[in-house]
Chain A
Amino acid sequence: MIKPRKRMGYDGVVVAAPASTPYERYSTETAHWWIAKALRQSIQAAGLTPHDIDGFSVASFSLFPDTAVGLTQHLGLVPRWLDHIPQGGASGPSALRRAARAVQCGDASVVACVAGDTNHVDSFRRMLSSFSRFAQDASYPYGAGGPNACFALLTDYYMREFGVGREDFGRICVSQRDNALRNENAVMKKPLSMDAYLAGREISDPITLFDCVMPVAGAEAFLVMREEDAVAAGIPHAHISATIERHNAFAEDPIQMRGGWEMDIDELYGMAGHGPERVDLLQTYDDYPVIVMMQLEDLGFCAKGEAARFIADKDLTVSGDFPHNTSGGQLSAGQAGAAGGFIGLVEAIRQVTGTAGATQVENAKRALVSGFGVINYDRGVCTSAALLEGVN
């Protein structure tokens, strides 16, 4: 048995230059186009040029037949450090922690982390039918409901196990829509009432329309660099207090009721030197509200099964006492493929650097970002999280 040793901090490394493209329901452009758009925006925000980028990290589902390698030639980048993160919704914190070590150790000076996907008419169906080998063999043949059906089963179990009702999920969706109305990039522009939520069209029982994200095209990006360079450039930046990542946790659970966060939660807060009570805002991965509840529990905000009661007592909006998914999250901003794994992190960087504009949470200093990705068969396999702290 090999014991893990105490992890090093991310001293001297910062995250900066958050960039988000507006999202589009359907696009005729490619993933390459969307990725370039966000990348350019991020590099410009830092006052840099593409030649300054010597590290490059990519997350995307729709680049085929290309990978991060093809993108370097396509975009004219000459990185000495290259990464491709196939973790879907967990890709944000996972990209961040790899890039941070590369910068910290000198393998790269500036790593551009970018996630983006296009959404063509019919590309969602095509992606579902060949998403993974286990999905192809053992979940897609059963009604071909895709993630809706997989999450419907988890939601059904969760609701009965913990006595949770649809209104409880509705609170998450309704408050996020409220946040999205402040975010001009969000695809959802109309307010959502609890009645409208409850009247949503049936998709895969007990999941209804407003529990589901809308697949869109878009991209998100940020830079990881040395603190001294960010200071010299005069750009807003944030420290990385702690990160975690876990894959295929609790495979023995008959159905997913928890994610890998539960295994690593002590390490996350231990590394940061504070607990969840000092977190000013939370960005969870929100492809369905049930997984938001699991994150609230597994990240230590409440006990297992208590999430519904926890949020009933809180105001999850930008101006509330528990700001959550302040840009509207994927539920209201849209799910731009792998960029869904970045949306919370990019928004969190804005928040703790005081540059979030209309969605800015007052006195936001510490943010917790959590990722969840890849329904390989019947459950999400990848989990990740990062704690960020703004520099003044």
Chain B
Amino acid sequence: MVIPLQKPPRKNPQVRTRVPTLPSHHRSRSALFMAAAAAEGRFMLQVCAEPECLAVQYPARDACSSCLSDRLIWQDVSSRGKLIATSTVRTSTNIYFRERTPWRLGTVHLEIGPSVMCHLHSEVTVGDEVQLINRLDKSGQSVLLALPMEKAPLQEDDMQLRELTCDPKFRRILITDARNPNAYALAKSLLEAGASAVFIGEAESWRPYPDRSKLESLQGVELVSLDVTDTSSVQELAGEFGGKVDILINNARFVRPGGIQGRGDVGFAMDEMQVNYFGMMRLAQAFAPAMAGRSADGVNSAVAWVNVLSAYSLVSNPGFGSFSASSAAAHSLSQCLRAEMASSGVRVVNVYCGPTEDEGHQPLPPPKVPASTLARELVKALQAGLEDVYVGDIAKDIRRKFMESPKVLEKEMTSLEAL
């Protein structure tokens, strides 16, 4: 039975905040492929590519345990199996688990062959048919958890599952840019997902913008003063709100069409870098330390930092070449932030979005991503506990091609026809 989460009371400032601890992050290099799959929520195992063999492997290997071939291919495979044994750890040598005992684990015999050790959702019991999910734990490494075949009521409240997700339920969110046309859809989706408060940063509040009254009408939204291009504005808000941001969603972006030679100067390029790159850095310098210190702080612990990036951070779209460059810089910085946040367990989530349905992408043909789609996918990713999310058909297309060959993708994007 899932024990329903209780909305946490107001924090007592005199009580010591629990220091973050982590499960073991040590993995072989082969096992990192499972982490890469977990980042997108995929269940992948190695399958031997020798046609007469096809043996499924687990744990990750460097050679086939059936025929010794080194042709082991990571494939999406069935995650169904039977839970054949369970245990509840009451005493652990690792501090993270020691603080969270009793902790359940089990052995699942997968229908595709191997048996795996895994975490257990509280709704599964020995003998059950279960489905495994592959997710990142607080150490940023892949772990498996057995879920019931049918979604249980309040399934997301399960303690062991919630340790793997970044569910907005009962958490407080900061969205950094109220002027971005996606702000309303994001705030609405987060509140519908059970967020207890949504703060939305607003730069130059004297300057009107169309969605302001809609934002104000949402119960649970608070507009706060924030300009990501202004260091003191960022620091001021962090001083006031830094200790109650559980999820930060950086949706601030500056986008204009154009590459290098079509622009006469670097004016727009500097604006793009100011918002898209330096903006993220200012926010991280001001907010990340406080979030890192609160990552084990109970039901509303700090849990995720979300960057809404362009899919063109992975490869230049020359029509938006300068913007692509600033996105690539932001993407690279997000990887640095991910490394710096690793010791806290706060997840840095990158949302790679295709061209959005807004003024900035007006000259582009469809398909474009409506704000509501972005919001829905982003919230789903937090609930599912993903690290990399590709939103929209163009982003998914770029992802597929990028994974296949970054160079071929570059050739395609920068050919004579591309412009």
Is there contact, CB below 8 Å, between B86 and A153? yes
B24 to chain A: which residues have CB within 8 Å? 129, 136, 140-141, 144
Mark each residue of chain A from 121 to 147: 1 if its CB lies under 8 Å from any CB of chain B, else 0: 000110011100110111111111110
In chain A, positions 159-200 with a C-beta closer than 8 Å to chain B are 160
| A204 vs B26: C-alpha distance when bound (angstroms) | 23
A138-B116, A153-B107 given; A144·B88 CB < 8 A: no
- A141, A201, A251: which contacts B23 (Cβ < 8 A)? A141
B402: Cβ under 8 A from any A Cβ: no
The smallest beta-carbon distance between B236 and chain A, in angstroms, is 41
Q: Among the listed A142, A146, A201, A378, which residue makes an inter-chain contact with B143, where contact means beta carbons less than 8 Å apart?
A: A142
Number of residues on chain A facing chain B (CB within 8 A): 39
Task: State whether the Cβ of A29 lies closer than 8 Å to any Cβ in chain B.
Answer: no
Nearest-Cβ distance from residue A42 to partner chain B, whole angstroms: 33
- Docked Cα-Cα span, A149 to B30, in Å, equals 24
Q: How many whole Å from B250's CB to the nearest CB in chain A?
A: 30
Q: Please report which residues of chain A, range 360-392, place their CB below 8 angstroms from some CB of chain B when the two chains form the complex.
A: 377-378
A35 within 8 A of B: no
- Asked whether, in the complex, the Cβ of A205 is within 8 Å of the Cβ of B87, the reply is yes
Is B60 interfacial (CB-CB < 8 Å)?
yes
Q: Are A254 and B115 in contact (CB under 8 A)?
A: yes
Residues 5-37 of B, flagged 1 when their CB comes within 8 A of A and 0 if not, give 000000000000000000110111011000000
Residues on the A chain within 8 Å of B26, using CB = 129-130, 136, 140
Chain B: CB-nearest residue to A378 = B117
- Chain B residues with Cβ below 8 Å from A11 are none
Contacts of B93 in A (CB 8 A): 124-125, 128-129, 144-146
Question: Which residue in chain B gives the minimum CB-CB distance to A127?
Answer: B93
Tell me how far the C-beta of B37 lies from the nearest C-beta in chain A, rounded to whole angstroms: 14
In Å, the complex CA distance between A146 and B91 comes to 10
How far does the Cβ of B145 sit from chain A's closest Cβ, in whole Å? Answer: 9
Q: Could you tell me if B58 and A138 are in contact, using CB atoms closer than 8 angstroms? A: yes
Partner of B92, one of A139, A143, A157: A143
Give chain A residues whose Cβ lies under 8 Å from the Cβ of B97: 143-145
Report the nearest B residue to A122, measured CB to CB: B93
Q: How far is the CA of A154 from the CA of B59 in the complex (A)?
A: 18
- Shortest CB–CB separation between residue A129 and chain B, in angstroms? 6
A157 touches B87 (CB 8 A): no
| Smallest Cβ-Cβ distance to A151: which chain B residue | B87
> Is the Cβ of B107 less than 8 Å from the Cβ of A144?
no
Chain A residue at smallest Cβ distance from B127: A160
Q: Which of A133, A145, A157 has the most CB of B within 10 A?
A: A145
- Chain A residues lying within 8 Å of B87, measured Cβ to Cβ, are 145, 149, 152-153, 156, 204-207
- Complex contact B59–A377 (CB within 8 A): yes
Number of interface residues of B (CB under 8 A): 39
B 239-275 to A, binary, CB cutoff 8 A, 1 in contact else 0: 0000000000000000000000000000000000000
Measured between beta carbons, the chain A residues less than 8 angstroms from B30 are 137
Question: In the docked arrangement, what's the CA distance between A202 and B139, Å?
Answer: 27
Query: Given that A136-B24, A156-B85 are known contacts, is A143 also in contact with B103, CB under 8 Å in the complex?
Result: yes
Whether the pair B126, A156 counts as a contact (CB closer than 8 A) is yes
> Which residues 325-350 of B have a CB within 8 angstroms of A?
none
Report if B94 contacts A (CB, 8 A): yes
B87's closest neighbor in chain A, by CB? A152
Contact pick for B105, options A128, A142, A157, CB 8 Å: A142
Report whether A145 and B105 are in contact in the complex, using a CB–CB cutoff of 8 Å.
yes
Known: A129-B24, A130-B26, A144-B24. A139 touches B117 (CB 8 A): yes
Seen from chain A, the residues whose Cβ lies within 8 Å of a Cβ on chain B are 124-125, 128-130, 133-134, 136-146, 148-150, 152-154, 156-157, 160, 201-207, 251, 254-255, 377-378
A-B residue pairs, 4 tightest by C-beta: A144-B94, A152-B87, A138-B59, A143-B89
- 13 A-B pairs besides A144-B24, A156-B86, A378-B107 with CB distance below 8 A are A129-B26, A138-B58, A142-B143, A143-B89, A143-B105, A145-B89, A148-B89, A148-B91, A153-B85, A153-B117, A201-B90, A206-B87, A255-B107
28 contacts between A and B (CB under 8 A): A124-B93, A136-B26, A136-B28, A137-B27, A137-B59, A137-B60, A138-B31, A138-B60, A142-B105, A143-B105, A144-B97, A145-B93, A145-B97, A146-B93, A153-B85, A153-B107, A153-B117, A157-B107, A202-B88, A204-B87, A204-B88, A204-B89, A205-B86, A205-B87, A206-B87, A255-B84, A255-B107, A377-B59
